[in-house]
Amino acid sequence: MTSPFAVSQGEQRFVDAARDLAPQFAAAADEHDREATLPIANLTALHKAGLDMAAMPVDRGGAGLSYQALGEILRIVGKACPSTACVWMMHLGAAQALVTYGPPFYADELRDGKRFANALSEPTGGNLFLMPLQRAEPVAGGYELDGAKRFVSGCEIADHFLVNALLDDGPGFFGVPSDDSVEMVPIWDSMGLRGTRSQLLNFRNTLLRQENRCLITDPLAPNIIALGLPWLSIGVAEAALDALTEHARKRVVPTTGKPVGDLQWVQFDAADSHVKLLAARTLAERSLWLADHNAPGALEAAVEAKLYANQVAKNIAEFGLRVGGGSGYLRSSPIQRHFRDAQAGALMAFSVEVCRDMLGKRLMGSQTDTTQ
């Protein structure tokens, strides 16, 4: 009997395509981290494998890939190169909104290999990326935005941005082309996920065209980013566990003459890590199952899955540092990169603290809304 969360036979070819690409992504991951370069070749390869359009709805020319299959693909890509997974997930998330709720040409753009990015987070808004504070003023043809968006992964190669702004009747979402009114400010010299190059963008009286408005009726409906974020952390956690296991099997402790993996504390922590990872995957798979079956509670389940997966990734990556000792602390070891990469998931909205806040309030029946 297969798992209720197994990817269907019909969608296995998309997962296989990602699995075929993973070794080359993994081989370049250290270099993208060291040089802080965008993994453009990887993103192009994902597009050529048909995985961009696969994730789009059937009525817009996509394959209507299930979230279950997409989660598995993000896990595989995230384990090989988390920067690639992050930029690609943001690209797909922005494209999903514009292709589904925007004008039809966005599907053609995606099919042609054009790149998308999410410009939602504001310098003063932090985690509250769905509640923009920056107001766009009505002008002929739409609205004008004079403001900034922060941490826009993959912005330097984006052709289209998904941008939100406060309008008279609340938040509005628009597709905005990368033109001269959008100025990139290079802030991204980060600790981890260095290949995402998530820079700051200044929008200088940028026209948010009425015809490119994205009529998202419910920004909290299941979507690629909310459901995909736990998988970035799961990918990093798996890579960290593999790297520490390899080290523990090979490195001999000078005082005992036996491998590090023979130490009891390492075996105990390895067992805990394994089970935590299984639990994180199961929580994330459950959220995807709910979304694929249009069942209520998918978004709440995604928040629970993200909260746990982010913490598990940090936890296992820290175990890796302990197992690696001085060798794992060196730049030449993958252990230190996994540790740095593992921190990012917990910071990305909704952060671990905000997830705990939301969940804790629900459990306690608290009426205070600190996310506003």
Q: Is the Cβ–Cβ distance between 286 and 278 less than 8 Å?
A: no
Residue 129 makes contact with ligand FAD by CB under 6 A = yes
Residue 371 interacts with ligand FAD (CB under 6 A): yes or no? yes
Would you count residue 310 as binding ligand FAD (CB under 6 A)? no
Smaller CB separation from ligand FAD, 22 or 86: 86
Q: What is the DSSP letter of 148?
A: E
Q: Nearer to ligand FAD by C-beta: 12 or 127?
A: 127
Report 132-161 residues binding ligand FAD (CB under 6 A). 151-153
Segment 63-102, which members bind ligand FAD (CB under 6 A)? Answer: 86, 90
287 binds ligand FAD (CB under 6 A): no
* Residue pair 67/220 in contact by the 8 Å Cβ criterion: no
Q: CB of 212 within 8 A of CB of 103? A: yes
The least distance separating ligand FAD from the CB of residue 247, rounded to whole angstroms, comes to 26
Find, among 288, 236, 280, the residue nearest to 8 by Cα: 288
Residue 2 or 370: the one with the smaller Cβ distance to ligand FAD is: 370
Asked if 178 contacts 109 with a C-beta cutoff of 8 angstroms, the reply is no
- CA–CA dist 186, 37 (Å, integer): 13
- 232-264: b or e for each residue (b if 16 or more CB lie within 10 Å)? bbbbbbbbbbebbbebbeebeeeeeeeebbeee
CB of 276 to ligand FAD, least distance (A): 21
First-to-last alpha carbon distance for the chain, in angstroms, is 46
What is the Cα–Cα distance from 51 to 246, expressed in whole angstroms? 31
Distance separating alpha carbons of residues 183 and 204, to the nearest angstrom: 7
Nearer to ligand FAD (CB atom), residue 193 or residue 301: 193
Task: Rule CB under 6 A: say whether 370 interacts with ligand FAD.
Answer: yes
Residue 150 CB, shortest distance to ligand FAD, in Å, is 6
Nearer to ligand FAD, 23 or 365 (CB): 365
Q: Which of 121, 134, 178, 273 binds ligand FAD (CB under 6 A)?
A: 121
Output Rg (C-alpha) for the chain, integer angstroms.
Answer: 21
Q: Which of residues 173-212 bind ligand FAD (CB under 6 A)?
A: 193, 196, 198
Element containing residue 228 per DSSP (H, E): helix 224-250
CB 365, min distance to ligand FAD, A:
17
Q: How far is the CB of 170 from ligand FAD (least distance, A)?
A: 18
Residues in touch with ligand FAD (CB under 6 A): 86, 90, 117-121, 126-127, 129, 151-153, 193, 196, 198, 344, 347-349, 351, 353-354, 357, 370-371
